[in-house]
Amino acid sequence: MLDTRNLGATVNAVNEAFLFGERISRSEASKISTFIASRQGLPGNYGGLFAPAEGELVSSYRLFTGDSVVMTAPAARHILGEESLSILMVFDIRTPEVQSAIQRAQDRFGENLAEVRRTGYGIGTFCCGKCTVAYWRALTTGWIDDAEERIRAGMVNLATASQPEKPVSYCLMFMCPKA
Ligand SMILES: [Zn+2]
């Protein structure tokens, strides 16, 4: 499950296990969390989140549902960062290195979101449909204080959305309980 040369592959393997209800031992969760935490704030990170390994974004990602997605690098790095944060929150490994990496990501990315809110933009969505689902999925872990309010606003946006690229299948992931 853990691939220390590829954060995306690791995140994908964990999410697949979550989706199919496979058990992940605490020792494996701890190793995975330590690796994810080690990627916080490294070059290539988005908004203080968790950076892909070098060369990882050369090819485009395929969404977990199998949908092929051509991603711009910032979107891919954003989605990867949000999914990484979600996994750390769900595993809840209480070592100082993991907890401090979560805290730094929360501080930096939380400040980005707070800044967007202060400027008057909506809080229910992120830049595009694909990024928005990753944003919602991370919010369900309660990593930020106003997560519920953000999800509530997002569900109104989802109900009224008309953008052609609304990622319906990836939205299903949002509905799936984790762990
Ligand atoms: Zn986007």
> If you measure from the C-alpha of residue 78 to the centroid of ligand 1, how many angstroms do you get, rounded to a whole number?
8
pLDDT at 136: 92
Residue 138: inside a domain: yes
> If you measure from the C-alpha of residue 74 to the centroid of ligand 1, how many angstroms do you get, rounded to a whole number?
8
Residue that wins the pLDDT comparison between 100 and 161: 100
For 50, list phi and psi in degrees, rounded to 5: -105, 125
> 135 near 173, Cβ under 8 Å?
no
pLDDT at 101: 98
> If you measure from the C-alpha of residue 104 to the centroid of ligand 1, how many angstroms do you get, rounded to a whole number?
22
Residue 2: inside a domain: no
Stated pTM of the model = 0.88
> If you measure from the C-alpha of residue 23 to the centroid of ligand 1, how many angstroms do you get, rounded to a whole number?
31
Residue with tokens 């319906």: 168
In this model, does residue 179 exceed pLDDT 50? no
> 50 near 40, Cβ under 8 Å?
yes
> 86 near 99, Cβ under 8 Å?
no
> If you measure from the C-alpha of residue 170 to the centroid of ligand 1, how many angstroms do you get, rounded to a whole number?
13
In this model, does residue 166 exceed pLDDT 70? no
Task: Give residue 99's Cα distance to chain centre.
Answer: 17
Tokens of 57: 């974004």
> If you measure from the C-alpha of residue 130 to the centroid of ligand 1, how many angstroms do you get, rounded to a whole number?
6
In this model, does residue 120 exceed pLDDT 50? yes
Residue 125: inside a domain: yes
> If you measure from the C-alpha of residue 168 to the centroid of ligand 1, how many angstroms do you get, rounded to a whole number?
15
> If you measure from the C-alpha of residue 96 to the centroid of ligand 1, how many angstroms do you get, rounded to a whole number?
32
DSSP 3-state helix, strand, coil percentages of the chain (rounded to 5)?
55, 0, 40
> 49 near 131, Cβ under 8 Å?
no
Q: Which domain holds residue 105?
A: 7-175
Ion ligand 1 nearby residues (CB, 5 A):
75, 127-128, 131
> If you measure from the C-alpha of residue 77 to the centroid of ligand 1, how many angstroms do you get, rounded to a whole number?
10
> If you measure from the C-alpha of residue 53 to the centroid of ligand 1, how many angstroms do you get, rounded to a whole number?
20
> 43 near 103, Cβ under 8 Å?
no
Residue 1: inside a domain: no
Residue 29: inside a domain: yes
pLDDT at 75: 83
Domain count, the chain: 1
Q: How confident is the model at residue 128 (pLDDT cuts 50, 70, 90)?
A: confident
pLDDT at 172: 59
In this model, does residue 167 exceed pLDDT 80? no
DSSP 46: S
